[in-house]
Structure 1
Amino acid sequence: MNRNKGFTMMELLIVIVILGLLASLVAPKMFSKQSSSMRKIAKAQMQMFETSLDTYRLDIGDYPSSISELRKSDRPNWDGPYLPKAVPLDPWGNDYVYKTPGKDGFPYYLASLGKDGQEGGEGDNEDIIHQ
């Protein structure tokens, strides 16, 4: 008698349950890493802005009125572009907030408003401020 060898339905169900359990243990850790990675990217981009803003200030004498002036400006002594590429969006696809002068005596205010793009918030929605 020639029987086809294969898996029974019970064996397949056991494998699916095991894979589901493994996925439920691994997935939350992976998604929490994504959130912290997005925040680290925003902080790194803002540090790049800081370097560009300081270089601009050294050439011009003060900080730009808008962050787009790091790419193109007709001010005297402008020696840019001060950013190698177009002004990036934050990791969540929102514009960075840039104001000069900044709050509390800082020369400028630079922030990412987090995932929700709104001021304030907690967790992924928390603002990331660089002054």
Structure 2
Amino acid sequence: MKHIHRQPLRTRAFTLLEMMIVLLIIALIIGSVAVMVGGIEKQAETVSAGAKIKQLQSALIAYKIANLVPPTQEQGLEALVTRPTAAPVPKRWSQLVKADALVDPWGRKFAYRNPGKHNNGGYDVLSFGQDGVENTDDDIGNW
């Protein structure tokens, strides 16, 4: 009887170079997803700021309907949260928004101007955007 010598089957393993290439591809995929998510997050913050400004505008309209005038510059948007004590003191006041509605997605208070720079004869409600600097391209307002 002849003995057939079989060589043991060698299991093929990944080389270090192949592992490094796979890890590099995974890192590139994760990096590109992170960049895309970051862009979506910025856009979401901008949309959120716009929605909050519309909410504040609705509350300011309700305030004006009840009191015949919008809050003064001195009273500010806080007049929608707490009853103003500065003249003209509203006769028919109720809380129209919660305090967190006065804060933009970047943690800063919305600005209020009465009279407005952009809305002549009206008022401006605005966020200075992510950079927090007025009169830059990322400002969001009711104009």
What TM-score, normalized by structure 2, do the two folds share? 0.76
Q: How far does the alpha carbon of each residue in 1:63-122 deviate from its partner, in whole angstroms, 9 at most, with x for none?
A: 012100101115343331011444431111111110112135241111100111111223
Quickly say closer, same or farther: Cα 1:23–1:86, change in 2 above 3 A: closer
Q: Distance in 2 between matches of 1:49 and 1:76?
A: 18
Unaligned runs of 5+ in 2: 1-7
Native 8 Å contact 2:77 2:102 kept in 1: no
Is 2:59 the partner of 1:52?
yes
Secondary structure of 2:141's aligned partner: strand
Contact 2:71-2:77 at 8 Å conserved across structures: yes
Matched, 1:83 2:93: no
Matches within 5 A, 1:7-18: 9-18=16-25
Q: In the TM superposition, what is the alpha-carbon distance from 1:8 to its structure 2 partner?
A: 5.1
Task: Give the structure 2 partner of residue 21 of structure 1.
Answer: 28
- Output the aligned Cα RMSD: 2.4
Of residues 38-47 and 91-100 in structure 1, the stretch that sits farther from structure 2 once superposed is 91-100
Higher helix share: 1
Could you state the TM-score of these two structures normalised by the residue count of structure 1? 0.82
Larger Rg: 2
The answer to whether 1:94 aligns with 2:101 is no
Q: Which amino acid aligns with 2:140?
A: I
Paired residue secondary structure (2:102):
coil
Secondary structure of the corresponding residue to residue 105 of structure 1 = coil
How far apart are the structure 2 equivalents of 1:84 and 1:98? Answer: 16
CA distance in 2, matches of 1:119, 1:76: 31
Structure 2 match to 1:105: 120
2 CA distance for matches of 1:90 and 1:84? 13
Tell me by how many angstroms 1:46 deviates.
0.3
Aligned length: 127
